A and B are shown apart, each in its own frame.
Chain A
């Protein structure tokens, strides 16, 4: 098998592994990002909040997926591997949270890092320069989901105008 073919298989399998680990709670839908490769994004995840949660709606986040057939025994190895073998696209500003999922094909270990991280107290997004990976178990999945939902909750007051809150003349006119 050629190295190109092997790399393609790793890429496709990594996306499937990402779908598997992200849908463990059945509250995330995972959609392909098509072939927009120059954006550096592989998948889009959307969180479906519970019915009793105050914030409802479409809550997307982006996913970068990396894979390797090398064994990654722990978080430090995953971090070292990613920093030495994978290149982050620079110069793109993302306006939604972005996570990186790294998989080792040997035992299907999953590691997680924020690329664009929601800030705790504001609606800002921190673009990380140096990724730090942690094991992507259910606890980390829940933490990620909660952080994204809370961030959308914070920015919703700035970006969503409920009916009656604003006069439509204050928003973009169709003719503009």
Chain B
């Protein structure tokens, strides 16, 4: 049976959605919105549930991999072999709002997360398996994104309209 990139992509999106909306410590932490093919370099907008800032969110690019060789390295150096191109890193970094890449192992269903920092210009070729997107990571991401939105610059304070 031929396996198309479309099937892998759709399963990857579903696996991401399940991972980021996990029910942890008795509550939901995030709600995701799929942005679709029209959103360049961005696959999902993820809103924080229970944030003190209205519509506090971050963006995610999902990279799904189904190849036979999906990992390299051993122990702490083991990485899921997903690539973020430099062009996409620049786009995500230029937004200056929280952005992450989530690598999905289509076979095991596991998800790994890596932040793309503001001002990023370089891509990467793998995500450490230590960065598993699990309940622990979900709570850490919620806290760091909440902290970002609470301390963000003033924003647009004047307008012609």
Interface residues of A (CB under 8 A from B): 1, 6, 9, 12-13, 16-17, 19-20, 23, 26-27, 29-30, 48-51, 69, 105-106, 108
Contacts and interface: CB of A to CB of B under 8 A. Distances in A.
Contacts of A108: 18, 22
B10 interface: yes
Nearest to A16: B17
B1 A23 contact: no
Contact of A13 (B3, B21, B27, B109): B21
B15 A20 contact: yes
Question: DSSP class of B's interface residues: helix, strand, loop or mixed?
Answer: mixed
Contact of B49 (A1, A12, A16, A30): A1
Contact of A23 (B7, B23, B27, B50): B7
Contact of A20 (B1, B11, B22, B31): B11
B16 to A, nearest CB: 9
B7 A20 contact: no
A29 B7 contact: yes
Contact of A50 (B1, B17, B21, B22): B1
Contacts of B22: 105, 108
Given A1-B50, A9-B28, A9-B31, A16 B14 contact: yes
B28 A20 contact: no
A34 to B, nearest CB: 16
The 8 A-B residue pairs with the shortest CB-CB distance in the complex, in nearest-first order? A105-B23, A19-B14, A16-B17, A23-B11, A50-B1, A20-B14, A16-B18, A13-B21
Interface of B: 1-3, 7-8, 10-11, 14-15, 17-18, 21-23, 27-28, 31, 49-50, 109
Given A16-B14, A20-B14, A20-B109, A26 B21 contact: no
A12 to B, nearest CB: 8
28 contacts: A1-B28, A1-B49, A1-B50, A9-B28, A13-B23, A13-B28, A16-B17, A19-B11, A19-B14, A20-B14, A20-B15, A23-B7, A23-B10, A23-B11, A23-B14, A26-B3, A26-B8, A26-B11, A27-B1, A29-B7, A29-B10, A30-B10, A49-B1, A51-B2, A69-B23, A105-B23, A108-B18, A108-B22
